[in-house]
Amino acid sequence: MLTRRALLAAGAVTAGVLGMPQLLSRGVADAYVPTRRTVQPTAPFLRPMPVAPVLEPVSTRDGTDVYRIPIRNTSAEILQGIQTPLLGFAGQFAGPTIRARTGRPTQLTVTNEIDVPVNVHLHGGRTPADSDGHPMDVILPGKSRLYTYPNQQQGTTLWYHDHNMDTEAEHVYRGLAGAYIIEDPCEEYLGLPRGDYDVPIMLRDIQFDANGDLVVFDDVRKRTTILANGVSRPYFPVAARKYRFRLINTANDRTFQLSLSAGQLTQIGTDGGLLPAPVQVRTLELSSAERADVVIDFSRFPVGTKIELSDPVAGTILRFDVTRRVLFDFSRVPDKLRELPPMPRATVERDVNLSFDFSQLPSGGPVLGEINGKPYDDNRIDFTIKRGTTEIWTITSTDPPGVRHTFHMHLVQFRVLDRNGKPPLQSDAGLKDTVYLTAGETVRVQATFVPYTGRYLYHCHFLEHAMDGMMAQMNIVP
Ligand SMILES: [Cu+2]
């Protein structure tokens, strides 16, 4: 396994020889230039898109659902005829889906059956600090760890993934990610598609070399194989009716611009839950770790219609094949979904600057990811926040053109107030825990820090950036 130090050294050597533009394309700091459609090694639409099985609780005592998940070495056939060694929750690529319920706690015991430390973070979860998967709070090989998720938040789509110090990027890339859906009893009256018609889709990219071996850290632009639920360019048979798709971008470093070849994407929710009203979107922007809850209505398409979900850089990602008619579809998308919670008045303002420090490059030193001019230090608390306070954070990226970031705060769901002084984009709408910034952008977000105290992270969710130091800690105090 490549250590952070080795990666940084490799980056510096490459950069020294080829200059900064090359360095910027390495994933240490990436210039993501959508210049060509990518060539993918496996023929498209050979396999159906799998839907990860929903994990069964081992017990449901006292109103708590108890789950057990081992982390295992596994493999999957991504390229035809080749088993690629991977990591998997419960040995599955991607991991099993957990369906929790608002107000009903989840207890998750995770056993580390591999030979390096791991841990689990529930992304977007309002979680006590000791269950938040702090990078230094790890599960050693052979050990187990109990995580408690109170699920005291409205219905939404979260995901769980490794957050271990220095190896998070590699572990997530190798497969340690799964969907975590919170179902909310008070949203059931809305009549949105459910059951078999409520389908999580985890999107990501992956790179193979000419021999079909997995490449972990190279140029992020070479991660040209795009996976939907672990399969490259699958088809998904659908009935001619409405479906709810919960799109989760689990890629380490990629921003999708998703669109359909026919029909409409109706966005109903985002990172933290439902939008106030459905929105028709022509192009859906989804950066690393963001989620979008969408409804697609296939009812007007005849059986035999094929509709592609694609991205201008990645090409076709997935094809929906309308294979059957249905007699009834009682699901609906009401004009009003769910009001956003009121925003209390903010009493504290803070600035958060995301940047790379290239100053050591000429002498062959590492490029450091920094927040407010400092790389991550586990012994340093960057912000101390009084529990219950509402704050406005002005997040700025001051990196050169081409370098992008995606800013994530643990514990809270925030609201984007404005972007570059202008109204937020559609991709900023609703309750958010992750927000995308291109070079030079400034985004103001507002959050209320409840209900737990303790140490939480905020960081760039391009995971290689976080690994290079673009993380910081806030301590929520009583
Ligand atoms: Cu970043």
For position 67, which CATH number holds?
2.60.40.420
Do residues 169 and 202 both lie within one domain? no
CA distance 263 to 284: 14
CA of 269 to the centre of ligand 1 (A): 24
Cα 331 to Cα 200, 326, 406, distances in angstroms: 17, 12, 34
CA of 404 to the centre of ligand 1 (A): 6
Is 107's pLDDT higher than 60? yes
Among all chains, which residue has been given the structure tokens 């991550």? 376
Residue 211 pLDDT level (bands cut at 50, 70, 90): confident
Q: Kindly report, residue by residue over 419-469, the tens digit of the pLDDT.
A: 999 999 999 999 999 999 999 999 999 999 999 999 999 999 999 999 999
Query: Is 278 inside a domain boundary?
Result: yes
3-state secondary structure of 464: helix
CA of 54 to the centre of ligand 1 (A): 32
Query: Is 49 inside a domain boundary?
Result: no
3-state secondary structure of 131: helix
Do residues 156 and 97 both lie within one domain? yes
Do residues 166 and 281 both lie within one domain? no
Query: Is 122 inside a domain boundary?
Result: yes
Whether the Cβ atoms of residue 284 and residue 259 lie closer than 8 Å to each other? yes
Q: What is the pLDDT of residue 364?
A: 87
Residue 15 pLDDT level (bands cut at 50, 70, 90): very low
Nearest Cα neighbor of 123 from 413, 396, 377 is 413
Q: What is the pLDDT of residue 41?
A: 55
- For residue 103, the tally of other CB atoms under 10 A from its CB is 14
CA of 147 to the centre of ligand 1 (A): 28
CA distance 250 to 106: 22
Residue 129 pLDDT level (bands cut at 50, 70, 90): very high
What is the pTM (predicted TM-score) of this model? 0.92
- Domain extent, residue 71, equals 61-186
Query: Is 25 inside a domain boundary?
Result: yes
CA distance 78 to 2: 23
Residue 8 pLDDT level (bands cut at 50, 70, 90): very low
The pair of three-digit structure tokens given for residue 195, joined into one six-digit string = 């059951």
Do residues 170 and 209 both lie within one domain? no
Kindly tell me the sign of the dihedral angle through the C-alpha atoms of 294, 450, 410, 434: positive
Nearest Cα neighbor of 23 from 32, 33, 12, 34 is 12
Do residues 252 and 371 both lie within one domain? no
Do residues 224 and 259 both lie within one domain? yes
Q: What is the pLDDT of residue 401?
A: 92
The span from the first CA to the last CA of the chain, in angstroms, equals 41
Do residues 87 and 167 both lie within one domain? yes
CA of 212 to the centre of ligand 1 (A): 29
Q: Kindly report, residue by residue over 35-82, the tens digit of the pLDDT.
A: 333 434 578 999 999 999 999 999 998 999 999 999 999 999 999 999
CA of 369 to the centre of ligand 1 (A): 8
- Contacts of residue 270, defined as CB under 8 A and 6 or more positions apart, other chains included, come to 290, 291, 292, 293, 429, 430, 431, 432
Last residue of a domain, one of 186, 206, 241: 186
CA of 409 to the centre of ligand 1 (A): 13
Last residue of a domain, one of 186, 212, 244: 186
Do residues 225 and 204 both lie within one domain? yes
Do residues 473 and 346 both lie within one domain? yes
Is 376's pLDDT higher than 80? yes
Query: Is 2 inside a domain boundary?
Result: no
Q: Where are the beta strands (DSSP E) in 96-155?
A: 98-101, 106-112, 121-123, 144-149
CA of 305 to the centre of ligand 1 (A): 40
CA of 418 to the centre of ligand 1 (A): 20
Cα 71 to Cα 86, 96, 140, 159, distances in angstroms: 11, 11, 11, 16
Do residues 310 and 352 both lie within one domain? no
Q: Where are the beta strands (DSSP E) in 398-470?
A: 405-409, 415-419, 434-437, 442-448, 454-460
What is the average per-residue pLDDT within 321-341? 97
CA of 403 to the centre of ligand 1 (A): 8
Residue 34 pLDDT level (bands cut at 50, 70, 90): very low
CA of 111 to the centre of ligand 1 (A): 30
CA of 470 to the centre of ligand 1 (A): 7
CA of 223 to the centre of ligand 1 (A): 17
* DSSP character at residue 56: P
Is 317's pLDDT higher than 80? yes
CA of 3 to the centre of ligand 1 (A): 19
Is 6's pLDDT higher than 60? no
Q: Kindly report, residue by residue over 240-260, the tens digit of the pLDDT.
A: 999 999 999 999 999 999 999
Among all chains, which residue has been given the structure tokens 């069964």? 56
CA of 358 to the centre of ligand 1 (A): 14
CA of 430 to the centre of ligand 1 (A): 22
CA of 407 to the centre of ligand 1 (A): 7
State percent of the chain over pLDDT 90.
87
Query: Is 200 inside a domain boundary?
Result: yes
Query: Is 335 inside a domain boundary?
Result: no
H-helix or E-strand containing 10? helix 4-18
CA of 408 to the centre of ligand 1 (A): 10
Among all chains, which residue has been given the structure tokens 């269950």? 131
Is 131's pLDDT higher than 50? yes
Query: Is 169 inside a domain boundary?
Result: yes
Count H helices and E strands in the chain, helices first.
Answer: 4, 31
CA distance 148 to 105: 7
CA distance 205 to 251: 6
The total number of structural domains that make up the chain: 3
Do residues 302 and 369 both lie within one domain? no
CA distance 341 to 121: 25
What is the average per-residue pLDDT within 225-230? 97
H-helix or E-strand containing 18? helix 4-18
CA distance 126 to 362: 43
Q: What is the pLDDT of residue 71?
A: 98
CA of 355 to the centre of ligand 1 (A): 8
CA of 28 to the centre of ligand 1 (A): 9
Segments in 168-255 forming alpha helices (H): 168-173
Is 4's pLDDT higher than 50? no
CA of 429 to the centre of ligand 1 (A): 21
What residue type is assigned to position 244 of the chain?
A: R
Q: What is the pLDDT of residue 56?
A: 97
Do residues 126 and 170 both lie within one domain? yes
- For residue 329, the tally of other CB atoms under 10 A from its CB is 16
Residue 30 pLDDT level (bands cut at 50, 70, 90): very low
CA of 402 to the centre of ligand 1 (A): 11
CA of 395 to the centre of ligand 1 (A): 12
Whether the Cβ atoms of residue 251 and residue 223 lie closer than 8 Å to each other? yes
Last residue of a domain, one of 160, 186, 212: 186
CA of 401 to the centre of ligand 1 (A): 13
